[in-house]
Structure 1
Amino acid sequence: MSTNAGPTVAVKLFIDKEKQRVLFAESDKEFVDVLFSFLTLPLGAIVRLLGKQSGVGCLDEVYKSVESLGTEHFQTEACKTMLLRPLNAVASHFDRLKVKLDYTNPRSVYVCSSSCCERQFSLVPDVICKTCKGQLHNLLEPPSDHSATVGCDSDGAFVKSGQKLIITDDLQVAPASTCLVFSLLDKFGLNEKADIEEKFIDLNNKKVSLPTASLQLILSLLKRSLTSNEPLTGIYFDTLQETKDTHKFHVIKIKLIQTADSSTVLYAEVVQDFVDLLFGLLSVPLGSIIKAHGHWPPNGSVDNLYRGVDGSASGCIREGCKSLLLSPKLATFFGCSINALEAKELDPQVFLSINKCSLCYKLYLDCNNNTCTSCGASTYAFYCDEVDPKSAGGAHGTSGAYIKGGMRNFIVTNDLRVLHFSLANSLQILRASNILKEKLVEKELALDKTQSSPCIRFSLGHWALPAQVLKVLRAAVATREALSSALLPPKKKSHPHH
């Protein structure tokens, strides 16, 4: 189906009118493609798309910290751009989506226009040429990625064509069948005579049958998939559930300012490596987070999408696409210096062919175009290697860090807001907490990624907390008090007296 607003995706909702809930939905591959595309989105892209109101743990504060931190703290200006607008490693597959979630992440190529360096390119803006130190600034649209079109032309981005699919309210996906529908009716305690209403939602790039823009509806579904166990009911009835609140790894040392009774953390005093660890989360795809931790926090349902890829929806996935969804990679050069989650990134591209006009110097990525469309002169081809945006000189082999090293201290609050360290910032946090300084203590922690049983030593006020780095990253997406949750000893449960 199509309209003058572009391709349309029809979704049929089966609604229990009495209890005002969506039982399940039925659709073709197009809608499920959109749902599975959530798994490939970097966390920073999710936060940006949701207007820094994702409600996912402390991620909004991490993202806003990157925004507010001065560029002098980053290795390059491009590092900040990479974190605020992380690229999707499978962006080319989004060309097959009938309803696109993100139009603001074009696959563009930046090259240097100077004649001194025709051997470099980047997919990230604000990158500096390693030869002439000028900025790569010519914007070019790259050719289509043929890998995204492998298979039958009628297949979707990730899902095979040819069959109807059932999506439950908590986003479990499976091929439609009578047996499945009957089991769902039994699950809800309904029979064939129940008052079940069928409603169609027609999504396209302009409007939707409900009184909201199609994009807003998809964004709402994305947010609810992260924070609600009933996202379909939420978007239809507008009742969003409120939520309660293989690389060598080196030890990260931090100073924790906490209450003496270990009830809460005020803030941590850290250096570059801990900040890089937090900021690096923004470039990690959602599916990689679920893979690393085994699940999403229980107040969301997006992990049902993840399990469905190799479970109930396995037979519907296009050949070669399972790994893209179950182990999505980071875009090239988007990994941080501390790869605690062991997420892989795409290899750099080499020998990208670009045509250049010999007269007006216009650049083309179509190697078959031997004549300039502007002046008619002949063009010639040259080849470029991809530049590391994190390197001030554009060279390869950097540390992978977004943040500069050296004698730089930062403050990280309990909700993972990052500030440069200063007495003014420290006092401001202390005053806002309403905690007397006499009740605060400072403890030094050594964090590593060892998966052994916790070992804590208290000599000289030092703690050694194995596996706590992974706990911090897990807490960053699960709670708004990440440092207290991950770094303080578990609170003892009170037992009633008999």
Structure 2
Amino acid sequence: MGIMFIQRGGHGYHTIRVHGFLSLPLGTIVRLLATNSNEKQQQSESSPFLENIKHLYQTVQNLNSDDVWNNNVCKQMLLHPRNPCEALCAKLFLNVEPSSKVFVCDSCNRFTTFQNLHCTCGKPINKQPKNLDSDGQGNNAQNGVFVRENGSLFLVSDDLKIVTDSLLSSVQMLIESWYPDLTQLEEVTHNIGKNEILNLLKYALTSREPLTNTILATSSKSNKKDNPPSQFASAVRALPCPSNRSKMDIKVLQTKSQKKTIIAEANEDFVDFIFSFLTMPLGSIVKLLGPNSFAGCVGNLYKSVENLDPTSVLLNPGVAHQFGCLNQPLNISEGQPPHTRYYYGTGIPNKEYSCTHFGNYETREGMIEGGVISKSRGSIYRPKSLYQLYPRSVNGSEDVIGFVKRATLYGIGDDLNVKPLSANSLLSYLKVLSLPLDDLEVKVSIGEAEALSFLGAFLTSRFTLTSGLKRPFECA
């Protein structure tokens, strides 16, 4: 037996947490699923998309910082990308992501969310003051964080179609579920915690019945109407043809006989583009490729948010501020700097009764070891304004750079395995493959249209380069 739909009462917190899946960057999804205790106990359905994200994440993990990265923080940024809606997620009743830590250089009044980043003064930033804003976090959950609500109940179908509760909505969901015998339905109550939310995230990417897989830990045997995901080629033909304003030159070595990509030779811009997939949130990827490009039920979730609140930030969250790709060929925007400012001090203001001035109180400092920070100026005794450092910098400079080193050639395999390239390493690679030289050819250049095709292949194919560079549509 499977789940037809669930009803979420009260404030609908878990419903909004499910909506929040669209704000998660791909790198965060991999990390959350890997740390979920139930992930190793349950066998997930096959999904090229999920496997490709995992492989790309592992590629970044395995690359030596001395060979590739501009500094020791660039790798951290890709493995721990920031949620562009982090401030909103902190207001959720059940937030599966911890808020970013803040580290301070009290000599320069600078801060960062990455430990050991070198300040402009040359010192590594390791000091982590107490964050007064995080005290009691999670106790101020708000209703309508991501979509506009009026206290309504919600219905969530097994394939993550979410609507406000009504008699007509219930009947409509039963009709769409294709379940003929209503006498076999029963009402049960389940508690949803962090592990269940993470399992639901996994199955939303891989299954057509994620609620059944998550809550009942099984698959439905009912004759549900099949709704397979569209092929990427058919999904992107409806999109307007991109311009060629962001051109990246790469060389692709492929076999003439099978048209299979062996290896691509590219500079830092293309490698930054590939690695930046880990910083892209689900919602922005769906916006680019269309809801029908995904396996699982992510498309249904996206369309539900669109129907409930067409202005929701989840429909195109963008990449978090400072996490963008310098030469991004896709139309995914980078978030603006936050309007709030951090203040730093060595303690908090305490009002104490004055013995010298009868009936009056004096404000004195309540020292706190390690110092304190807050977005509220009045919470800090003699506060100092903090200014955020740009994490991708060399030796504390303010110059904007990419994730990987400049003026370096990289080899990219069909499975997106990346490594610095030299003539000797390429020859050794070809010898291992034992391919005849007369079966090889070189194709050159990738533009914005190919980049869109490449991202689509990342969702659907285990051979991303071969599938993505076939360019499944032509511009008029």
TM-score by length of 1: 0.75
Deviation at 1:253, TM superposition (A): 1.5
For residues 209-260 of structure 1, the C-alpha deviation after alignment (integer angstroms, 9 at most, x for no partner) is xxxxxx3322221111112222112223434799999999432111212111
How far off its partner does 1:83 sit?
Answer: 0.6
RMSD between aligned alpha carbons?
A: 3.4
Q: What CA distance in whole angstroms lies between the structure 1 residues aligned with 2:82 and 2:451?
A: 25
Q: Which amino acid in 2 is paired with 1:201?
A: H
Letter in 1 for 2:463: E
2:459 corresponds in structure 1 to: 477
Partner of 1:30: 13
The alignment covers a number of residue pairs equal to 417
Distance across 2 between alignment mates of 1:126 and 1:342: 32
In the other structure, the counterpart of 1:211 is none
Which segments of 5 or more consecutive residues in structure 1 lack a partner in the other structure? 1-19, 205-214, 371-378, 450-466, 492-498
Matched with 1:402 is: 403
User: What is the identity, as a one-letter code, of the residue corresponding to 1:78?
Assistant: V
1:60 aligns to 2:54 (yes or no): yes
Give, in whole Å, the separation in 2 of the partners of 1:247 and 1:471. Answer: 14
In structure 1, the residue matched to 2:23 is 40
Measured in 1, the distance between the counterparts of 2:17 and 2:186 equals: 24
Paired letter, 1:45: T
Cα displacement (A) at 1:197:
2.1
Question: 1:448 corresponds to which residue?
Answer: 447
Partner of 2:146: 158
Q: Is this contact kept in 2: 1:40–1:90, CA < 8 A?
A: yes
Aligned equivalents of 2:199 and 2:29: distance in 1?
Answer: 11
**2:74 equivalent to 1:79:** yes
Secondary structure of 1:202's aligned partner = coil
The CA distance in 2 between the partners of 1:416 and 1:220, in whole Å, is 26
Q: Give the direction of change, closer, same or farther, for the CA distance of 1:349–1:91 in structure 2 (3 Å limit).
A: closer
In structure 2, distance between residues paired with 1:432 and 1:169: 47
Which of 337, 346, 358 matches 1:356?
Answer: 346
CA distance in 1, matches of 2:243, 2:371: 39
1:97–1:156 CA contact under 8 A, matched in 2 = no
Is residue 437 from structure 1 mapped to residue 433 from structure 2 by the alignment?
no
1:459 corresponds in structure 2 to: none
In the alignment, does 2:304 pair up with 1:308? yes
Q: What is the DSSP-based 3-state SS (H/G/I as helix, E as strand, rest coil) of the residue aligned with 2:462?
A: coil
**Runs of 5+ in structure 2 lacking a partner?**
40-46, 221-227, 232-241, 348-364
Q: What do the CA deviations read for 1:157-196 (whole angstroms, capped 9, x no partner)?
A: 3243522111111111101111122122223444674311
2:203 equivalent to 1:218: no
Task: Write out aligned runs for 1:260-339 (5 A).
Answer: 260-295=256-291, 297-311=293-307, 313-314=308-309, 322-339=311-328
Pairing 1:110–2:100 present: no
Is residue 2:378 matched to residue 1:368? yes
Secondary structure, counterpart of 1:380 in structure 2 = coil
TM-score after normalising by structure 2: 0.78
Q: Give matches, 1:412-427, under 5 Å.
A: 412-422=412-422, 426=426
CA contact (8 A) 1:23 1:169 kept: yes
Matched residue type, 1:368: G
Where does residue 129 of structure 2 map in the other structure?
140
Deviation at 1:156, TM superposition (A): 4.4
Q: After superposition, what is the alpha-carbon deviation per residue over 1:40-87, rounded to whole angstroms, capped at 9, x for unaligned? A: 111110111122998525222221111111213222211111111011
| Aligned-partner residue type, residue 292 of structure 1 | L
Residue by residue over 1:371-394, the C-alpha shift from the partner in whole angstroms, topping out at 9 and shown as x without a partner, is xxxxxxxx5322121110001244
Report the CA distance between 1:448 and its aligned residue: 1.0
Give the Cα separation in 2 of the matches to 1:226 and 1:269: 31
Query: Any idea what SS the aligned residue of 1:365 has?
Result: strand
Q: Which deviations, in whole Å up to 9, do the C-alpha atoms of 1:391-424 show, x marking residues without a partner?
A: 124444514x111101x22121112121222567
SS at match of 2:386: strand
Q: 1:188 to 1:80 in 2, by over 3 A?
A: closer
Question: Quick one: distance in 1 between partners of 2:267 and 2:14?
Answer: 44
Q: Is the 8 A contact 1:63 1:84 kept in 2?
A: yes
Which of 381, 387, 390 is equivalent to 1:388? Answer: 390
Change (3 A) 1:490 1:260: farther
Alignment partner, residue 357 of structure 2: none
Structure-2 residue corresponding to 1:458: none
Q: How far apart are residue 353 of structure 1 and its match?
A: 2.1
1:229 to 194, 199, 208: 208
Residue pair 2:284, 2:315 contacting (<8 A) in 1 also: yes
Tell me, what secondary structure is at the counterpart of 1:135?
A: coil
In the TM superposition, residue 297 of structure 1 has moved relative to its aligned partner by 2.9
Q: Distance in 2 between matches of 1:418 and 1:300?
A: 28
Q: CA contact under 8 A between 2:450 and 2:471: conserved in structure 1?
A: no
Retained in 2: the 8 A contact 1:110–1:139? yes
